[in-house]
Amino acid sequence: MAQDISDRPVDLKASPRQSSRVVSRIVSGEHILVPLASRGADIDSIYNLNSTGTFIWEKIDGKNTGAEIAEMVAAEFLVSKEQAKVDCLEFLSQLLEVRAIEFNADKGKE
């Protein structure tokens, strides 16, 4: 059953881009993300992405909308488009929360 995704802060019509405040590197097929920090307490924040996360991260280029990325996920991982949207919203919301991605003020494509 599809989950209610209407209250998520991420708009799938918008085009996220990778934040310049994050350093990423692919290690044996999986990405690690390291947020830059200006205080000692924030240093230990580092994120490992699984294969799906790595796939989505690589599609975040400031051009692809969230919806387009979800369609790519559906095609790549053979899941329903609805499920891919839910997964993308969840993941993009997490990335936004840790400031690993940003959105343009115009919210991307109409």
Partner 1 sequence: MTAPTFVNRLKVGGTVLVARGENESIISWPKRTDPFLVKTGEDIDVTVHRKNGPRPGKLLFESEGVWRAYQQEEQHLLLTFRVGRTIYKSALMDDAFTKGDIFFPRPSGEGTGPRSAMRFPLDEMLFQQRWSRDGLLEVHSCGVQDRSGVLLFAGHSGAGKSTTARLWNHFEPSRTILSDDRVLLDPRDPGAVRAFGTPWHGMGRFGSTAQGRLSTLFFLEQAKVSEAVRLHPAEAAARLFTRTFPPIWDRDVTARVVNTCGDIAERVPAFLLRFRKDETAIAAARRASASAA
Q: Which is nearer to partner 1, 6 or 20 (CB)?
A: 20
Beta-carbon count within 10 A of 1 CB = 3
Q: Is 57 exposed, middle or buried (0-12, 13-18, 19+ CB in 10 A)?
A: buried
The contact mask relative to partner 1 for 24-63 (x = CB under 8 A, - = no) is xxxxxxxxx-x-xxxxxxxxx-xxx---------------
Which residues touch 76 (CB under 8 Å, ≥6 apart)? Answer: 55
Query: In this complex, which beta carbon is closest to partner 1, that of residue 44 or of residue 106?
Result: 44
The span of 6-14, 19-27, 68-76, 80-88 binding partner 1 (CB under 8 A) equals 19-27
Q: Whole-number minimum distance, CB 98 to partner 1, in Å?
A: 14
Closest alpha carbon to 107 in 54, 67, 72, 52: 67
Question: Would you say 27 or 78 has its CB closer to partner 1?
Answer: 27
59 contacts: CB under 8 Å, gap ≥ 6: 68, 69, 72
Amino acid at 15: S
Per CB under 8 A, does 99 bind partner 1? no
- Is residue 105 involved in binding partner 1 (CB under 8 A)? no
- Name the minimum Å distance from CB 56 to partner 1: 16
